[in-house]
Structure 1
Amino acid sequence: MGFKEWILPRDKHFFNMLENESKNVLDGSIAFLEMLKNYENIREKQQTIKDIEHQGDDFVHEIFEELNKAFITPIDHEDISALASAFDDVLDYIDGTATRLVLYDIKKPEENMIKLAEVLVRQTTELDNAISSLRNIKNPKEIEKKCIEVNRLENIADDIYKMSVAELFKRTDAIEIMKLKEVYERLEFATDKCEDAANVISDIVVKNS
């Protein structure tokens, strides 16, 4: 086996793993939005999200195991690691939010929670499209546009979060305020981590185009 042939399977394998993780994150965000929009049987829906999160953990472990064994990677070792970790964080915060909705016995999701979840789905969709283009960077400007859109959406999420928390503090039930604020915080953290992933992808494009 020649040197080129030895590299190429690993090249394909790393992109496959990142694409699998990205699609799993998208699945998690879609499942969470569906949970909020159809707020019934929420324990079962929360378990579905938990299962997606566990699948995400498996993908991350696989990526790090391969990184530890690989001498050569198609893109920088550090970028693969940072991207895998950012995606993992997105799913962790989605799962954490869904879990708190159940544990805190939230009777009905607020409209701004649904808006944040919609932003999250749009972000993870853009990220998934960007990831699928990394295998062969033919149009770096298109990938960069997707990353910019993720960042723009994060700014929208920030505005929704700030407005939501401001409205919360107009209420009088301190326990309810604490519960809902924590839900909003974790949703906003998820959108932040999407931005982190977009920034890593943007760096990869700059280095490899």
Structure 2
Amino acid sequence: MLGWFRRLLPREDRFFELFERHSRTVVGGAEALEQLLQGRDIDRWCQTIVDLEDKADGITAEVLLAVRRSFITPFDRGDIKDLIQSMDDAIDTMHKAVKTVKLFEMTEFDPLMREMGSVIVEAARLVAEAIPLLGKVGANAARLNAIAEEVMRVEGRADDLHEQGLKDLFKRHGRSDPMAYLIGSEIYGQLEKVVDRFEDVANEISGIAIENV
């Protein structure tokens, strides 16, 4: 009877399947954002991000439901919740960037914005590399911590690009076209927030590695 009942409950490895599915949507969103910033097929890439964000929300809901239903979880329930929500925040922030692009009908993007798009893809791929390693967190702790540090370095590079981008914007538009400056600074700000959310994910991963070694 107990065995039958346990088969109805979420498997422990189900969490890792869901984490990996979510990480793939995040990478897809990051790659779509990078393409959007090239200034071609903007509507197509905006819709791709919207669709992926919706898919990610569904996966997040599955994870949270599994946490509530599971007797046994691979690590602390609070850590599972915080990890999936930090991952979801990353693609939610990409969606916010899309809304900003559509609101201001942006069709051209600065070279440093495009470079920030590449940085976002790098951060997303690092997170996607880390997620499967959580299945054997003790054995993979060193690599998990190394990935977290790499994400921190990527975030630092994004900060530099953000700062330089604002300086360049002000030189071009600060006095002659304040609206162009404000719109450009809003885009830069949204892109920087995306990378900040990946830093949050890296912190969650690092915390899980530390607590489970």
Q: TM-score of the superposition, structure 1-length normalised? A: 0.92
User: SS where residue 40 of structure 1 aligns?
Assistant: coil
What code does the residue aligned with 1:86 have? S
User: SS where residue 131 of structure 1 aligns?
Assistant: helix
Q: CA RMSD in A?
A: 1.8
Counting matched residue pairs gives 206
Most deviating of 51-60 and 167-176: 167-176
Equivalent residues of 1:21, 1:56 under 8 A apart: yes
Residue number in structure 2 paired with 1:109: 109
Q: Counterparts of 1:59 and 1:139 in 2: how far apart (Å)?
A: 25
Q: Counterparts of 2:11 and 2:207 in 1: how far apart (Å)?
A: 21
User: SS where residue 105 of structure 2 aligns?
Assistant: coil
Equivalent residues of 2:42, 2:107 under 8 A apart: no
Q: Counterparts of 1:89 and 1:183 in 2: how far apart (Å)?
A: 17
**Percent identical residues:** 31
Q: Give the counterpart of 1:207 among 184, 190, 211.
A: 211
Residue number in structure 1 paired with 2:63: 63
Q: Counterparts of 1:190 and 1:45 in 2: how far apart (Å)?
A: 16
The residue correspondences of 1:92-107 to structure 2 (distance < 5 A) are 92-107=92-107
Deviation string, structure 1 residues 117-174 (Cα, Å, up to 9, x no partner): 1111111111110111111232311121111100110011011111111222232211
Give 1:9 shift. Answer: 5.6
Residue number in structure 1 paired with 2:53: 53
Gaps of 5+ in 2: none
Give 1:206 shift. Answer: 1.2
Q: Give the counterpart of 1:198 among 170, 192, 202.
A: 202
Equivalent residues of 2:22, 2:56 under 8 A apart: yes
Equivalent residues of 2:134, 2:140 under 8 A apart: no
- Give the ranges of 4+ consecutive aligned residues of structure 1 lying more than 6 Å apart after TM superposition: none
Equivalent residues of 1:130, 1:143 under 8 A apart: yes
Give 1:203 shift. Answer: 0.9
Q: TM-score of the superposition, structure 2-length normalised? A: 0.90
Residue number in structure 1 paired with 2:27: 26
Residue number in structure 2 paired with 1:72: 72
